[in-house]
């Protein structure tokens, strides 16, 4: 007969061999996952070198643009061979190309017009898309699935298919030559943003809305004070997408804007190419300034941007 107390019997099998107590298993699994994801210094350097090599084809046009914006005209047209890292180095560096480029076009006016459009379209697109997405995600009504499928199907329709009837509609409304054709469609909801926000709202705990209803909150108050603050990553992601689309939009102003005082940056730089086609340094300097706000914006918001896209595919 064993001399051990009955209370020690359940722990005995885990003291034999290599078996581990159940309480220690989660800690060991977490430790293994952490050690699996940790790289040594050599592996980290190797990974960064590989990433830089893979990014080189995408970075070369950007490097060429910045380099050309700092070169004198003689050096730009003197090099006719293949593009090399040595040919990218400007000598001497012509910093005055940037003030010259800003004087070549009414850059401040184009920037003001573009920022006005970005503010209106971002505010309208995010607000309307969030409201529609909350209805698809949290409300029950007849035909909801059919309407959602039709809405998602419109994402696959090319803009060229609807271009002619859309232009005819805006001419009939006497909106041609104004910013309304560029602002109003964004304020009626964007299908991709509605789809993105619908998936996000579906993943939020339903208990939060139920608790707010118990406290007497209406549906709009639940949407405004409970759901919207929780959906901030997805809202920021939609705002970034819309800002980039409006900032880079060339085709919209080309179709609807006929007044030079209303030109945007993307359309105004095209006019610079037409009137100063041989001044490549000024054109590249303006293009660099045009890209700089987008790069800075994405650099500071990339964490929220990735979080907003990644969390839309989770489960309740």
DSSP-assigned states of every residue in 191-255: HHHHHHHHHHHHHS-HHHHHHHHHTT--HHHHIIIIIHHHTHHHHHHHHHHHHHHHHT--HHHHH
Question: Does position 297 have pLDDT exceeding 70, yes or no?
Answer: yes
Mean pLDDT of 164-170: 92
Q: pLDDT exceeding 70 applies to what percent of the chain?
A: 80
Confidence of residue 197 (pLDDT cuts 50, 70, 90): very high
Residue scoring higher pLDDT (35 or 216): 216
| Structure-derived torsion over alpha carbons of residues 224, 229, 206, 307, reported in degrees to the nearest 10 | 140
Per-residue pLDDT reduced to its tens digit, 214-270? 888 888 888 888 899 888 888 988 999 999 999 999 999 999 998 889 999 988 888
Give how far Cα 37 sits from Cα of 30, 34, 154, 244, Å: 11, 5, 41, 34
Are 282 and 100 within 8 A, CB to CB?
yes
Q: What is the pLDDT of residue 28?
A: 58
Residue scoring higher pLDDT (307 or 120): 120
Question: Does position 13 have pLDDT exceeding 50, yes or no?
Answer: no
Rg over alpha carbons for the chain, rounded to the nearest Å, is: 28
Per-residue pLDDT reduced to its tens digit, 250-261? 999 999 998 889
Best CA proximity match to 121, nearest among 187, 177, 180, 189: 187
Q: Maximum Cα–Cα distance for the chain, whole Å?
A: 103
Confidence of residue 302 (pLDDT cuts 50, 70, 90): confident
Are 47 and 39 within 8 A, CB to CB?
yes
């Amino acid at each position: 007969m064993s001399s051990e107390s009955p209370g020690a019997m359940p722990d005995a099998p885990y003291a034999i061999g290599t078996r581990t107590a159940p309480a220690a298993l989660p800690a060991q699994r977490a430790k293994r996952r952490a050690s699996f994801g940790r790289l040594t210094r050599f592996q980290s350097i190797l990974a960064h070198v590989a990433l830089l090599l893979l990014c080189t084809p995408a970075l070369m046009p950007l490097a060429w643009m910045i380099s050309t914006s700092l070169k004198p005209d003689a050096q730009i047209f003197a090099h006719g061979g293949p593009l090399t890292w040595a040919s990218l180095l400007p000598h001497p560096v012509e910093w005055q190309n940037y003030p010259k480029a800003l004087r070549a076009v009414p850059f401040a006016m184009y920037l003001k017009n573009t920022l006005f459009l970005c503010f209106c379209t971002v505010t309208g697109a995010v607000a309307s898309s969030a409201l529609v997405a909350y209805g698809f995600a949290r409300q029950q009504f007849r035909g909801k699935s059919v309407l959602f499928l039709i809405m998602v199907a419109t994402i696959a329709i090319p803009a060229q298919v609807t271009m002619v009837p859309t232009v005819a509609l805006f001419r009939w409304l006497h909106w041609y030559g104004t910013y309304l054709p560029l602002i109003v469609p964004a304020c009626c909801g964007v299908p991709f943003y509605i789809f993105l926000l619908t998936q996000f709202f579906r993943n939020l705990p339903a208990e939060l809305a139920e608790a707010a209803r118990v406290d007497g909150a209406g549906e709009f108050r639940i949407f405004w004070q409970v759901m919207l603050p929780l959906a901030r990553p997805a809202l920021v992601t939609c705002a970034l997408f819309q800002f980039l689309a409006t900032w880079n939009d060339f085709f919209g102003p080309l179709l609807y804007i006929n007044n030079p005082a209303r030109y945007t940056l993307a359309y105004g730089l095209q006019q610079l190419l037409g009137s100063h086609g041989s001044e490549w340094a000024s054109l590249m300097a303006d293009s660099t300034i045009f890209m700089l706000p987008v790069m800075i914006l994405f650099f500071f918001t990339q964490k929220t941007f990735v979080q907003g896209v990644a969390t839309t595919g989770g489960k309740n």
